[in-house]
């Protein structure tokens, strides 16, 4: 879940993303990303987008519904990955280095 605040600039009001909360456990990030201000790597990154979106689209506009899910790194590893494996997804942990 993305947490937004309404903020003011001179002569304008805008909405800024200030943090994220895990949709499963409620853990809140310290900023708009998980643990962004530290050097320790603890992030969840989706490089392939899987989304469901429905509605109507016309040249002049459109509307509908879509799903977006925020998961903290702990829920990603301990809940989503095991569930996907239980559904016969072929997921393996890989080491990385740079």
- Residue-wise pLDDT for 71-87, tens only, equals 888 888 899 999 999 99
Q: Residue holding tokens 């942990």?
A: 93
Residue 98 lies in a domain: no
Domain total of the chain: 1
End-to-end CA, the chain: 31
User: CB of 77 within 8 A of CB of 27?
Assistant: no
How do residues 31-68 score in pLDDT, each as one tens digit? 555 555 445 555 656 554 567 889 999 999 999 998 88
- Residue listed under structure tokens 């509908």: 64
Within-domain flag for 28: yes
Mean pLDDT of 2-9: 78
Q: Give the separation between CA 31 and CA 41, rounded to whole angstroms.
A: 15
- Report if residue 29 sits inside a domain: yes
Q: What is the DSSP string of 40-55?
A: S------SS----EEE
Domain that includes residue 39, residue range: 2-54+64-86
């Amino acid at each position: 879940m993305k947490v937004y605040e309404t903020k003011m600039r001179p002569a304008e009001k805008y909405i800024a993303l200030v943090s994220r909360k895990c949709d499963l456990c409620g853990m809140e990030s310290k900023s708009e990303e998980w643990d962004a201000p530290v050097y320790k790597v603890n992030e969840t990154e989706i490089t392939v987008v899987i989304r469901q979106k429905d509605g109507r689209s016309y040249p002049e506009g459109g509307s509908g519904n879509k799903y977006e899910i925020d998961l903290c790194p702990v829920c990603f590893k301990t809940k989503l990955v095991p569930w996907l494996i239980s559904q016969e997804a072929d997921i393996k942990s890989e080491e990385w280095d740079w």
